[in-house]
Structure 1
Amino acid sequence: MIEIRALTDVPSNIPPQQESAAPACRNCGAPAPGTYCANCGQETSLALPTVRAMLREAAGRYVALDGRMWRTLVTLLFRPGFLTREYFAGRRRRYIRPARLFLVLSIALFALLRFAGEPAIVVDRDLTQADLDEIARDAEEAKSKTGFSIGPDLRWRLNVDAGSWLDPLRRRIEQFNQLSRTGRREQIYAGMLRYGPYAAFVLLPLFALLLKLLYLGRGRRHPLRPRRYAAHLVFGAHSHAFIFLTAMLFVFVTSEPLRSALVLWAIAYLLWSMKIVYGGRWPGVIARALAALLVYVVFFAAVVVGLVAAAVLLG
C-alpha cells in the first residue's frame, strides 16, 4: 500500500522559495529591471566609461555633434522659418532644441572671434595740429566740469568731487588711460568678446518682447500666428542662431562678393522667415521688420555701450 503525504508536510527548516527581486536604482532606490530607471531615468549600468565614451557623451549632450546637429545647421541656413514651424508642430526630435542651438552658436561665434584676433583698424588720415589743439582744449574743459566723457583718443574721463563714492571708479579709469592707444583698443575688444555672450542673452528676450508688441491682436485672419511670448522666444532663438551662423561664415569668407551675398541672403532670410512663421502680406511683414530693426538697433547700441563700459571698468 502506497502512502501519499500531503504537500503541506514540508520540513520547517527549508525556507520558502522567493522570486528574484529587480535591482534597485542607485539614484532613487526604485526597482529598475531595465536599462534605465523608470522613475528617475538614470541608467542602471554604472560601470566606469572609457575616455572615448565620455567624450562621445559630452559631445552628444552639450554640443550634439551627431546627425541632428548637421541636419539642424543645414536646415537653419537654407530653409527660413522651417525649424520654428517644425517646433510648433511638435516635430522636435530630428533637430536641436532652440535654446541649445542659440547657446552653442553664440558661444562658438565669440570663441571664433577671440581666436581670429582683433580686426585691423585703418586710419584714413593723420591728425592735424588743429585736431590736436581741439583734443587738448576739450580735455582742459573736461577738467573743470563734474561729469563723464570719452575722448577721441579712447581715454575716459570721470571728474567727481574728492571723497565721492565714485572714486574707485575714477581710479579704474585712470589705470585704463595709462595704457597705450593700442592697449586701450585691445582691452575694449577683449572685453566685448568676454561679455558678448551675456549680451546675447539680454537681447533675445527683448527681441521676443518686441515681436509680442508688433503682433498684438486676435489674428482672425491668421489663427495659426504665434501669440504667446514663449513662441516669440522660439522664433527669436532661431533668428539669432541664424545670425550667429552667418557671422561665423562671414569670418571665414574673405571674398567681398561672397560677403555681400551673405549679407543680402541674411536680409532676405529674416524677412522670409517672418513671412512663413507669422503670415500676412509682404507690406505688413516689411513694415514690422523695419520697426523691429529700428528698435533692435537701439537695444543693440545700448548693449554695446554696456560692453565697452564693462571692458573698461571690469578689465
Structure 2
Amino acid sequence: MSDEHKENCPSCGTKLVGPWCHECGERSLDRESRGLRSLLREAFTATTDLDGRLWRTLRSLLFHPGRLSEEYLAGRRRRWIGPISLFLLINVGYFISPPISDFNLSLEEQIRYQPWGGTALSWVEARNQARGVTMEAYARKYASESAHVAKSLILLHVPWIAAALAIVGGRRYYYAEHFVVAIHGFSFVLTLALIMQWVLRPLLLLAGHWVTIAWDGQQVLRTISLLVLVLALIYWTRASRRVYGFGWPRSVLTSLAFAGGMVIGHWIYRWIQFVATYVIT
C-alpha cells in the first residue's frame, strides 16, 4: 500500500492525523480494518446501533405512546429514526412475515363479504369467460399476487387517519403534523400485529391443544384482532394526551377518530387491493 493511502483519507483525501479523518469521519485503512473481525464488528454495529437511534426509537414507539410524535413536532429529531423511515423499516418485517389475513383478502372474501363484491364478481367472470379460465384457477393466481399487492399498499391507511385527526385536533397543527402522529400510531398497530402473528398466535394454538379447546385459525384471528384493537385504543388515547395536550374525554374522542380513519382507510385499501391485483392478473 502506498504512503498516500496511509497518510490521506481514502474518502475525501484529507491528510490524516490519526486513525479517523477529522473532515468526514472515515477510518483510515490499516491492517486491522481490513480483517474479518473488523467486517463482523461493522455488521454488528450497523444492525444493533444505527447511532443508537433504531432500538431507542422502537422502544419509544412500543412503550411510550406519543413520545416520537411529540419529539418530532418539537423539532428534537436527531435522536430518532424519522417517521417514514421508521415505517419503512417496520414494513420490511411485514414483507418477510406470513400475510396478516385482515390486510390480505382472498378472492372469495373480496367477492362474498365486501360491498363491491357484485362488481368484482362480474369483472372476474367476464375476464375468465374471455380467457377460458375457471374460477378456481383464477382464484389461485389471484392469491399468488394479492399478498404482495397488500403489503405494497399498506401505507394507504395513513392519509385517512391523518384526516380524521385533523378534524378533531383543531387548527393548531398542519395536516403534515397530523400525518406524523398518524404514521407513528399506525406503525404501532402494524408492529403489534406482527408480534401477535409471530408470538401470540402459535401460543394460542398450542394452549388450545393442551387444554383440548378446538381453536381454529379464524378463532385465533378474531382473538388477536380484538386484542390489537383494545391495546391500540388505549395506546392512541395516551398518545393523544401527550401530543395534543388534551384531557381524557377529548383524548378518547381522538382515539376513536383514529380508529374511524383507519376503518375508512381500510375499506379503501381493500378496494384498491382488489383492483390492483385484478389488473396484474
TM-score per shorter chain, which class?
0.5 to 0.7
Cα separation, partners in 2 of 1:119 and 1:103, compared to 1, 3 Å: closer
**Aligned pairs (5 A) from 1:114-153:** 114=99, 149-151=119-121
Q: Does 1:27 align with 2:27?
A: no
For the pair shown, the structure with the greater C-alpha radius of gyration is 1
Q: How far apart are residue 278 of structure 1 and its match?
A: 1.1
**Aligned pairs (5 A) from 1:1-315:** 23-45=7-29, 49=34, 54=39, 57=42, 60-61=45-46, 69-87=54-72, 88=74, 90=76, 92-93=78-79, 96-114=81-99, 149-151=119-121, 156-157=124-125, 174-175=130-131, 178-181=133-136, 183-218=137-172, 227-252=173-198, 253-254=200-201, 255=204, 259=224, 260-315=226-281
| Residue identity matched to 1:178 | V
Q: How far apart are residue 305 of structure 1 and its match?
A: 1.6
Identity %: 25
| Residue identity matched to 1:26 | P
Structure with the higher helix share, 1 or 2:
2
Residue range with higher mean Cα deviation, 47-56 or 31-40: 47-56
In 2, Cα distance between equivalents of 1:306 and 1:119 = 12
Partner of 1:251, secondary structure, is helix
Q: Tell me if the contact between 2:164 and 2:257 (Cα under 8 Å) persists in the aligned partners.
A: no
Cα separation, partners in 2 of 1:307 and 1:246, compared to 1, 3 Å: same
Partner of 2:84, secondary structure, is helix
Q: How far apart are residue 112 of structure 1 and its match?
A: 0.8
Tell me the TM-score normalised to structure 1 length. Answer: 0.59
Cα separation, partners in 2 of 1:305 and 1:236, compared to 1, 3 Å: same
| Residue identity matched to 1:198 | S
Q: Tell me if the contact between 2:162 and 2:261 (Cα under 8 Å) persists in the aligned partners.
A: no
Partner of 2:119, secondary structure, is strand
| Residue identity matched to 1:283 | P
Cα separation, partners in 2 of 1:27 and 1:286, compared to 1, 3 Å: same
Q: How far apart are residue 243 of structure 1 and its match?
A: 0.8
In 2, Cα distance between equivalents of 1:312 and 1:27 = 49
Cα shift readout 1:193-251 (whole Å, capped 9, x = no counterpart) = 21234323343345445434543324xxxxxxxx2445434322321221111111221
Tell me the TM-score normalised to structure 2 length. Answer: 0.65
In 2, Cα distance between equivalents of 1:262 and 1:292 = 14
| Residue identity matched to 1:248 | L
| Residue identity matched to 2:181 | F
Q: Tell me if the contact between 1:59 and 1:65 (Cα under 8 Å) persists in the aligned partners.
A: no
Residue range with higher mean Cα deviation, 72-81 or 22-31: 22-31
Cα separation, partners in 2 of 1:291 and 1:81, compared to 1, 3 Å: closer
Cα shift readout 1:249-291 (whole Å, capped 9, x = no counterpart) = 2213233597344432122112221222112123323333334
In 2, Cα distance between equivalents of 1:236 and 1:115 = 20
Q: Tell me if the contact between 1:110 and 1:197 (Cα under 8 Å) persists in the aligned partners.
A: yes
Q: How far apart are residue 84 of structure 1 and its match?
A: 2.9
Partner of 1:156, secondary structure, is helix
Gaps of 5+ in 1: 1-19, 124-147, 159-169, 219-226
In 1, Cα distance between equivalents of 2:228 and 2:153 = 24
Partner of 2:195, secondary structure, is helix
Paired residue for 1:140?
none
Cα separation, partners in 2 of 1:288 and 1:75, compared to 1, 3 Å: closer
Q: How far apart are residue 108 of structure 1 and its match?
A: 0.5
| Residue identity matched to 1:101 | L
Gaps of 5+ in 2: 109-117, 205-219
In 2, Cα distance between equivalents of 1:56 and 1:186 = 45
Cα shift readout 1:3-61 (whole Å, capped 9, x = no counterpart) = xxxxxxxxxxxxxxxxx9x9433333344434444444444337775567556645654
What RMSD, in angstroms, separates the aligned Cα atoms of the two structures? 4.2
